[in-house]
Structure 1
Amino acid sequence: MKRYYYMDILTILATIAVVFLHTSEYAFSNQTGDSHWVIAVILQVTFIWAVPIFFMMSGAHLLDYRERYDTVTFFKKRMTKVFVPFIFWSFVWYILNPFIFHQPTDYHIGQFIDAVMHNSIQPIFWFFYFVIGFYISAPLLAKITNKADKTLALYLLTVNMVFVNILSYYYEVRLQTDNFFLHGIQIGAAGGVGFFVVGWYLKNTVLHKWQKNMLYVAALASVAIMIALTIYLSIKRGKFAREVYD
């Protein structure tokens, strides 16, 4: 299997970025206007790409899994590497939480299943739900992501861009309910599907210099806009505007 060294570098950088995110959570304190709060917001926005980068690399690695093994083998590998650890550590936290937070509880399997389904055991496990959802969808997405003909992949990314990255973002920033079209376009606009597919697309596409430059400029503009808008709306609303850099 070919090794992509830029992904090794991205893994290192994204890991460092996660540390920055978890050490700048003062941004969520609603101490709007405070100089330390402003620095924390800048760090949060600047490094928010960490987990999406991991999602993109998962798509880059796994959406061509049929070149290496069949779908049954794919699910077996994902089961042992992700699903089993997810259930195991969810159970550990389910047992320990009452002792950590000094809350009496009546342990039973129904309560555990309900807590897993609603991510109420350990909220930091949210990424497991994204990744497992991606694995379940991978056999379908793998049919769309075709190296010889990227038309369907581009169509899916266009739908995702319009309905998630533009329309949904607009309504989230305005604290309004998501546009109702999302309920009918799940395959192209659900969860983090765009991250996984665009990761595969960038791995298998040679970009022209002008395309790279356009992406660099867009990235820098996005960071500047998100920092400014997060600070402005947080101060205006008197609480941290997390949705601005979603």
Structure 2
Amino acid sequence: MKRNNPDKRVYYLDYLRILATFAVMIEHNSVPFFMRSVHSADWKISNTFESLIRWCVPMFMMISGTLFLGRDITVKKLYSKYVIRMIIAYFVWSLFYTIVARNPAQSVWEQFLMGHYHMWFIRMTIVIYVFMPFLKWISQNTRVMKMFLITILGIVIMCAQIACLIGDFGDPELVNSHLLLKMLYGLRDSIIYVYINYSAYFVLGYYLSKTEIPKAVRYVLYVIGVFSVFVTYKIEYAYVLSLGHQSELYYDPTNIHMLFITTALFVLYRNLPLPECNIIKILSICSFGAYWIHPFIIQLLDMIGINAGKYFPLVGIFVIGSMVSIISFGVSFVLNKIPGVRDYLV
């Protein structure tokens, strides 16, 4: 396995972080169109965008795994610096959104504790940080790490995927009548299973960052990744049609096709001759703050009549999404200049 210099900036991770942050904002601007009829052109365009960009959240996990598992961080520093910082940021931003984006369907305390809609990812990140010493132990032994990845991202995710396909598109009675299939089918509703999968993405990022993959294998992986985008579109379309209402189930990273897309993109950027420029470093540093603030920017634009759902999908999703991204990164840049805010909130 290749060992990178931990003190040298890894620029392909900067590119991936910026791209993943942008993808999140595009995805959130796609929601108004996704809620429309599955037979409409609007929904199909939204499904196209969703199929192209839903790799973004597991990519954040892979980036974090690459950075954290490749460094010597004491348990004390992990909890006293990184976990505490995330908890502080979570509750400060949650208070902010409880004030500016009050949800009448929740009590004030419930909204404060659960956070805004995009903050589920932060809760998950905190949990994974808490268990990082265990993930660090896994990553220190190449054989154990491979067994962990094969078990979770290979065997379990594939078996669960087969059970879901049988239950959703084949014979539901077959799933219900066999205990193992029923258990595998039910995994996708288990929050523990979701967290374990994201933990595996965390370790996978580190593994791929240290492993030299032959060029021929990389090209095969790229082809599978592109093909998986088409699979995502088709299977999501078929599932929503059969279900009779909207669902994001087959965009979930616990699906094997999403694993292929995310892995292919990570490996691609790791092997591209990307230029090392200061603007990329700055945007990467501002990505976390941009993630926190972007729902508020969407809300502000909506208040002045700029709502993605009012426009043709390509304009509403991509153009308005790009506008949200530019403003969010700009606000984050300013926030990163403020001591205290820079250290704990962005």
Q: TM-score, normalised by structure 2?
A: 0.59
Q: Deviations over 1:181-217 (max 9, x none)?
A: 96xxx79982411110100001111111122112112
Contact 2:66 2:202 in 1 (8 A): yes
Residues 224 and 71 of structure 1: is their aligned pair in 2 closer, same or farther, counting only changes over 3 Å?
A: same
Contact 2:24 2:56 in 1 (8 A): yes
The 5 Å alignment of 1:222-237 reads 222-237=228-243
The 5 Å alignment of 1:164-179 reads 164-173=156-165, 174=167, 178-179=183-184
The 5 Å alignment of 1:1-246 reads 1-66=7-72, 69-94=73-98, 100-101=102-103, 116=113, 119=114, 121-146=115-140, 149-173=141-165, 174=167, 178-179=183-184, 190-246=196-252
Q: Deviations over 1:209-244 (max 9, x none)?
A: 122112112211211111011112222322224111
Contact 1:45 1:227 in 2 (8 A): yes
**Structure 1 CA distance for aligned equivalents of residues 71 and 63 of structure 2:** 13
Contact 1:60 1:203 in 2 (8 A): yes
Contact 2:83 2:130 in 1 (8 A): no
Cα offset for 1:93? Answer: 3.8
Residues 225 and 180 of structure 1: is their aligned pair in 2 closer, same or farther, counting only changes over 3 Å?
A: closer
Cα offset for 1:180? Answer: 8.2
Cα offset for 1:245? Answer: 2.0
Cα offset for 1:104? Answer: 9.4
Q: Deviations over 1:29-50 (max 9, x none)?
A: 1411101110001101110011
Whichever residue aligns with residue 88 of structure 2, its letter is V
Query: Structure 1, unaligned stretches of length 5 or more?
Result: none
Query: Structure 2, unaligned stretches of length 5 or more?
Result: 1-6, 169-174, 176-181, 253-346
Q: How many equivalent pairs are there?
A: 230
Q: Classify the secondary structure of the residue corresponding to 2:119.
A: helix
**Structure 2 CA distance for aligned equivalents of residues 188 and 235 of structure 1:** 25
Whichever residue aligns with residue 184 of structure 2, its letter is N
Q: Classify the secondary structure of the residue corresponding to 1:190.
A: helix
**Structure 2 CA distance for aligned equivalents of residues 237 and 181 of structure 1:** 17
Residues 214 and 142 of structure 1: is their aligned pair in 2 closer, same or farther, counting only changes over 3 Å?
A: same
Residues 241 and 103 of structure 1: is their aligned pair in 2 closer, same or farther, counting only changes over 3 Å?
A: closer
Percent identical among aligned pairs is: 24
Residues 71 and 139 of structure 1: is their aligned pair in 2 closer, same or farther, counting only changes over 3 Å?
A: same
Cα offset for 1:125? Answer: 0.9
Cα offset for 1:22? Answer: 1.2
2:263 is matched with none
Contact 1:159 1:188 in 2 (8 A): no
Cα offset for 1:133? Answer: 1.3
Cα offset for 1:88? Answer: 2.2
Q: TM-score, normalised by structure 1?
A: 0.81
Residues 45 and 103 of structure 1: is their aligned pair in 2 closer, same or farther, counting only changes over 3 Å?
A: closer
Q: Classify the secondary structure of the residue corresponding to 2:246.
A: coil
